[in-house]
């Protein structure tokens, strides 16, 4: 098992980790599901966390037994509709939307020389970082358009460590989604989950809240 002293880099998810966009994604998908007559549930909402735009749409259609009801072109139109609603909400964001403790954590990581990269499935990640005024912290972003497979496949986290020129076991991956934790584990990185300990039970360490994510607390858990 990796020791805290071995850690040199952090590979971050964005939505639900640095900012609360997971709620905005959920609301925009919920709206679309309602318009399609697909019943919404917390389980469906949680299962969509970390999942790419088109895969999320497929999951929603499947939940409603409608996976064969639309052509590819119609599906793309539905995804665009969701994205338009989502982006309108993103454009209202400010640095006040950074989750508690995350700015201080990023500042501490930077001050102590840890390397940072972003492993978000979102094609809107640069826009979100811009709104939060955090773009400077993440010059290294995995391009989700370059991926063959989405989370829980390890590809995005493997690429996140490669951008830092670090071996996987010297990186901590930070996630709020079960699919993301699975991706980090499969990439051979140390997984830090933020959220419900049962949902994120596969993570090497879980914090209930972003405010608890500090280097001291990580060191205590990792040893
Ligand atoms: C992930 C979110 O970060 O990005 C998902 O957790 C979202 O909910 C995915 O579907 C893709 O985002 P976007 O902005 O490219 O539609
Ligand atoms: Mg997330």
Q: Which residue's entry shows tokens 């939060």?
A: 132
Q: Which ligand is the nearest neighbour of the Cα of 176?
A: 2
Pick out the residues of the known binding site for substrate: 13-15, 29, 48-53, 56, 82, 120-124, 151
What separation in angstroms does the CA of 58 have from each of 55, 66, 71, 122, 169?
A: 5, 9, 12, 16, 33
Distance CA 117, CA 142 (A): 8
Provide the residue ranges of all domains of the chain, joining segments of one domain with +: 4-19+94-222, 22-90
Report which protein residue has its CA nearest ligand 1's atom 5.
Answer: 50
**In a mutational test of the pocket of ligand 1, which residue from 118, 122, 150, 174 has the highest number of ligand atoms less than 8 Å from its CB?**
122
Q: Which ligand is the nearest neighbour of the Cα of 58?
A: 1
- Taking CB atoms and a 6 Å cutoff, what residues make up the pocket around ligand 1? 14-15, 22, 25, 48-53, 56, 83, 120-124
Cβ neighbours of residue 159 closer than 8 Å, sequence gap 6 or more: 119, 142, 146, 147
Q: Which residue's entry shows tokens 């811009």?
A: 130
**Distance from the alpha carbon of residue 171 to the mean position of ligand 1, in angstroms:** 23
Report which protein residue has its CA nearest ligand 1's atom 1.
Answer: 50
Where does 4-19+94-222 sit in CATH, by number?
3.40.50.1000
Report which protein residue has its CA nearest ligand 1's atom 2.
Answer: 50
pTM of the predicted model, to two decimals? 0.95
Signed CA dihedral, 203, 209, 211, 212: sign only: negative
Q: Which ligand is the nearest neighbour of the Cα of 45?
A: 1
pLDDT tens sequence for the chain (223 residues)? 789 999 999 999 999 999 999 999 999 999 999 999 999 999 999 999 999 999 999 999 999 999 999 999 999 999 999 999 999 999 999 999 999 999 999 999 999 999 999 999 999 999 999 999 999 999 999 999 999 999 999 999 999 999 999 999 999 999 999 999 999 999 999 999 999 999 999 999 999 999 999 999 999 999 8
Query: What homologous superfamily is domain 22-90 in, according to CATH?
Result: Putative phosphatase; domain 2 (1.10.150.240)
Cβ neighbours of residue 122 closer than 8 Å, sequence gap 6 or more: 14, 15, 21, 128, 144
Q: Which atom of ligand 1 is nearest to the CA of 176?
A: 6
């Amino acid at each position: 098992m990796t020791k805290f002293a071995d850690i040199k880099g952090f590979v971050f998810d964005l939505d639900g980790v640095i900012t609360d966009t997971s709620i905005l994604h959920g609301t925009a998908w919920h709206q679309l599901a309602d318009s399609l007559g697909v019943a919404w549930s917390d389980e469906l909402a949680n299962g969509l966390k970390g999942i790419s735009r088109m895969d999320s749409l497929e999951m929603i259609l499947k939940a409603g037994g409608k996976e064969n009801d639309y052509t590819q072109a119609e599906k793309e139109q539905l995804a665009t509709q969701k994205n338009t609603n989502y982006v309108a909400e993103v454009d209202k964001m400010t640095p006040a939307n950074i989750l508690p403790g995350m700015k201080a954590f990023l500042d501490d990581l930077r001050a102590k020389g840890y390397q940072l990269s972003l492993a978000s499935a979102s094609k809107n990640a640069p826009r979100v970082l811009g709104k939060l005024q955090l773009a400077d912290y993440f010059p290294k972003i995995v391009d989700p358009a370059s991926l063959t497979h989405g989370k829980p496949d390890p590809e995005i986290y493997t690429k996140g460590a490669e951008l830092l020129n670090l071996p996987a076991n010297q990186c901590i991956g930070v996630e709020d989604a079960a699919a993301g934790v699975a991706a980090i584990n499969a990439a051979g990185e140390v997984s830090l989950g933020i959220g419900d300990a049962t949902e994120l039970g596969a993570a090497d360490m879980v914090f209930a809240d972003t405010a608890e994510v500090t280097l001291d607390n990580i060191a205590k858990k990792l040893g």
